[in-house]
Structure 1
Amino acid sequence: MVNPNIAPPPPNYDLKVQTLIIGAGAAGMVAALSAHESGQDVLVIEADSTPAGSTALSAGLIPAAGTQFQTRANITDTPTLFAADIQAKAKGENDSDLVSIMAQTAGLVIEWLTKTHGLPFSVITDFDYPGHSRRRMHGLPTRSGRELIDALRSRIDALEIPLICNRRATTLFTQNGEITGAQLQLPDGTLETVACDRLILACNGFGGNRAMVSQHMPNIDRAIWFGHDGNRGEAVTWGAALGAKTTHLGAYQGHGNVAHPHGILITWATITQGGVQVNLNGDRFWNESLGYSEAARAVLAQPGGTAWVLFDSRIASIARQFEDFKNAEKQGAVLTTQTIADLATATGLPKTNLSKTLSNIPQSGPDAFGRDWQTPPLAPPVHAVKVTGALFHTQGGLEVDPATAAVKRTNGVMFETFFATGGAACGVSGSGDSGYLSGNGLLAAVTLGYIAGRGNG
């Protein structure tokens, strides 16, 4: 990789556009749709051979409050309540204006993607996500990030918005402290230059840069990297060279329910609907209801850095709405037995300890870990998946103006030509992993993408 650089503009550019967007994940493509709608001349460039990013590896779920889908499901929700949930999870560490605007904008974006662009969203109504006081997670039919990426790409193509793949931005050109364009590298090493009036960074965070992960979040640096390898930290590197302000670089989204060694995400519905995690001794080891992000560290701290998630067929039927879970079943990651004794044999867990652990789960009310039980007890047949902890994506980044997504300088003054969205920008997950509220990553991607794209349009 050529290190991302800052340089004076060249005498001549190969191409000129109004808005140049670096990155074609959900953030970049939403920004492109928004910019196109406001009448701008847009170019999206993507380093990979096809758009994917971290979005394609996720469940593709976007939290939003006050949508038509919630109304149809008799779910009463408001952006104010949503914002309060975000802040409660992050213990008030987020910028309140950023939280408020994201909470207010999310429903608008979901409705816009549905009505204007035909994306068939629906709200998940059969289980809750930790920290959300209402059911507000919206997704496409397969509950797959790959489906979301493909749907956005289809709209980009239908509207003939230029999206060029196999172009990695290596240099940003600046003059008088503002961005004037970028240099792009092709697979054969040749270079192109593009002038722009506005640059939107949608190149995600730095989870794929192990040195940066070790520097800013050493407590997760031995976790499996489950994000996209293209997340190399260019946004932070460019920002530092330009005098941009960064915030909460130690924030990240982990996940403690990734099938091992299969590398498939197992939905947290296996936990919220009454499942548990046990270590290799057959013992529960934490309050699983706290959330899947902090679960990564909890699981990695166990012997072998692994655990088993245990659930029953009632829970499995809910989990099957997710394409990832069905793939896990097809690949043999999900073990199924009729008795606890057989489960112990299948997993290699100590039978006595496992039986004691499961018998100690209360019918209702709190347990010794502080988890409040409101779900039916596990009933045969029982399922098990061996899981480990993973790093999904970073949540800190360039600080932006909530109203415009313009990047803020260290002196507090906003850039006029430089914008950031998604993982390139600081999100609303506080300063670590426990502040991550389910869906925060795509929340930042689509809301800041929509805002950045519109510009003055």
Structure 2
Amino acid sequence: MTVLRTAERAFDFDVPVVIVGAGAAGLTAALAARDAGAEVLLLERDAHPRGSTSMSQGYACAAGTKIQRDKGIDDDPDKFYADIMARTKGTADPLTARTVADQSGPTVDWLVERHAIPFQMNISWAGFFGHTVNRLHGVPTRTGEELHGSLIRAAEDAGVTLVTGAHVDAIFADADGVVSGVRVRRKDGGEERIGCKALVLTTCGFGANHDMVRDHIPSFGSAPYYRYFGHEGNEGEGIRFGVELGGAIGCMDAYQGYGALAEPYGIIVNYDMVMQGAITVNVEGKRFSNENADISGQALNVLRQPDGIGWIVFDDARRQIVADLPEYRELAALGAVRSAETADALADLIKVPREALARTLEETARMAAGELACPFGRDFTQHPPLSGPLHAIKTTGALFHTQGGLKVDAGARVLREDGTPLPNLLAGGGTACSISGNGVDGYLPAAGLATAITLGRLAGTTAADLAAA
């Protein structure tokens, strides 16, 4: 990949707005640009669009939506902004945080009303991991596949031209950074040069680029059991294009981790049951963290344990919370859920010391009764202790998605180091700097898709305006 500095405009054809990457951000940008009257070409490297959106659970956090109001939920952009800054300890970019806080609600409303994206509120994580109110909007099946499919259908209905198997490997720009077009390579060796008046980069993050991870996220890149669970195409191409064109980057050490990835199945374990009283132990049968303090940072907590492994231990009451969710059903069908009538039998089944597991369960029962303080600061008194038949799922931690990227303004235009915008380059999704601040512990659940659809919508609208100027 490269930037070709030339004023030449010898292109095979021209399109006002070109968008690179057909994930949630790119599709939302395409919808917004079409709504603004622009002709749009959406280029996707893969033969079939999937990426991080399809691999997610399809949730986006948003504040002040009509869906929230209909549910009687009191939320607004100021509360969301305060939660972002509190969670990130003030390290989130204030402009991006303010933009997402202000525009996420209108974006969800627009997607629902204008493009029939079936967002609803089907879980509540209020009070967990930084959200003070319930603002997680998901689709009925609670899968990223449904959300991605809905966005693709909406784009088709809106007249977006989506071309797959089209890898953008070069950008044409003049000495002042004005983008004039892109070069597309096909798997069969074919090449096309496409001119444009505005270019939107939504090629996701850099989690699959091990060199970039080691350079920018040493805390994870140096973990003894490094694991990446994300789309293999997340190689940071959009970020690297933007930097070469003169764009600034921010919060490159930020990422979304997850400490409950079923091992060796590569399927997430629904965290709702941990939030409601389940625990995680290591291969020694001991708890090692406050499981509910930081859903993202729990990845490193697990990876730092012997063999980089944890076991989520739960009972029938906690199992019922997730029994109907697609991930749990799949894990149960694969035999990933180990079950036993007693703690000793479960310990033998998962090969942890009987005495240690029994002691851990006894201690957490005393914590639930208020007789003992958790050494890691978790409050167990809100839920009954584990009892009866017990179950366990083997887990590990993984990097799911990087959160740093190109700095953008309130219209999603890529910014230079001096804060001025590049003439006609925009970014969204994992290509743009998110609202997660620095490190792993600033990630708010569903912030990735919230940033993707919000900046995507703004990028599409801005690109259409630039193309019409």
TM category, shorter = over 0.9
Q: Report runs of 4+ in structure 1 exceeding 3 Å deviation.
A: 3-7, 124-129
Q: Which residue of 2 aligns with 1:282?
A: 285
The answer to whether residue 367 in structure 2 is matched with residue 367 in structure 1 is no
SS of equivalent to 1:419: strand
State the alpha-carbon separation in 2 of the partners of residues 6 and 360 from structure 1. Answer: 64
SS of equivalent to 2:115: coil
CA contact (8 A) 2:125 2:133 kept: no
CA contact (8 A) 1:144 1:322 kept: no
State the alpha-carbon separation in 1 of the partners of residues 456 and 266 from structure 2. Answer: 29
Q: Cα 1:105–1:126, aligned 2, differ >3 Å: closer, same or farther?
A: closer
Matches within 5 A, 1:12-411: 12-128=10-126, 129-175=128-174, 176-221=176-221, 222-361=225-364, 362-363=367-368, 367-373=374-380, 374-401=382-409, 403-411=410-418
What is the CA distance between 1:338 and its match in structure 2? Answer: 2.3
Deviations 1:9-57 (A, max 9, x none): 5441112111100000001001111111010110100000111111111
Give 1:183's aligned amino acid. Answer: R
Higher mean C-alpha displacement, 235-244 vs 55-64: 235-244
SS of equivalent to 1:225: coil
Q: Which residue of 2 aligns with 1:436?
A: 443
CA contact (8 A) 2:255 2:403 kept: yes
State the alpha-carbon separation in 1 of the partners of residues 339 and 89 from structure 2. Answer: 39
What is the CA distance between 1:187 and its match in structure 2? Answer: 0.6
Match of 1:415 among 422, 426, 429: 422
SS of equivalent to 2:313: strand
CA contact (8 A) 2:34 2:159 kept: no
State the alpha-carbon separation in 2 of the partners of residues 42 and 11 from structure 1. Answer: 19
SS of equivalent to 2:296: helix
Give 2:114's aligned amino acid. Answer: T
State the alpha-carbon separation in 1 of the partners of residues 342 and 77 from structure 2. Answer: 45
CA contact (8 A) 1:398 1:407 kept: yes
State the alpha-carbon separation in 2 of the partners of residues 71 and 135 from structure 1. Answer: 11
CA contact (8 A) 1:59 1:322 kept: no
What is the CA distance between 1:217 and its match in structure 2? Answer: 0.9
Give 2:135's aligned amino acid. Answer: R
State the alpha-carbon separation in 2 of the partners of residues 296 and 179 from structure 1. Answer: 39
Give 2:390's aligned amino acid. Answer: V
SS of equivalent to 1:98: helix
Match of 1:449 among 448, 456, 461: 456
Higher mean C-alpha displacement, 363-372 vs 166-175: 363-372
Give 2:385's aligned amino acid. Answer: P
Higher mean C-alpha displacement, 122-131 vs 151-160: 122-131
CA contact (8 A) 1:4 1:169 kept: no
Give 1:100's aligned amino acid. Answer: R
Q: Cα 1:289–1:264, aligned 2, differ >3 Å: closer, same or farther?
A: same
What is the CA distance between 1:111 and its match in structure 2? Answer: 1.4
Give 1:202's aligned amino acid. Answer: T
| TM-score (normalised: structure 2) | 0.94
State the alpha-carbon separation in 2 of the partners of residues 358 and 9 from structure 1. Answer: 69
State the alpha-carbon separation in 1 of the partners of residues 122 and 293 from structure 2. Answer: 20
CA contact (8 A) 2:177 2:246 kept: no
What is the CA distance between 1:127 and its match in structure 2? Answer: 4.7
What residue ranges of structure 2 are gaps of 5+ in the alignment?
none
State the alpha-carbon separation in 2 of the partners of residues 270 and 363 from structure 1. Answer: 15
SS of equivalent to 2:297: helix
What is the CA distance between 1:270 and its match in structure 2? Answer: 2.4
State the alpha-carbon separation in 1 of the partners of residues 316 and 159 from structure 2. Answer: 46
Give 1:196's aligned amino acid. Answer: C
SS of equivalent to 2:388: coil
SS of equivalent to 1:93: coil
What is the CA distance between 1:198 and its match in structure 2? Answer: 0.6
State the alpha-carbon separation in 2 of the partners of residues 234 and 248 from structure 1. Answer: 17
CA contact (8 A) 2:125 2:136 kept: no
| TM-score (normalised: structure 1) | 0.96
State the alpha-carbon separation in 2 of the partners of residues 112 and 334 from structure 1. Answer: 40
Aligned residues: 454
Give 1:384's aligned amino acid. Answer: A
CA contact (8 A) 2:177 2:423 kept: no
What is the CA distance between 1:142 and its match in structure 2? Answer: 1.1
State the alpha-carbon separation in 2 of the partners of residues 310 and 382 from structure 1. Answer: 7
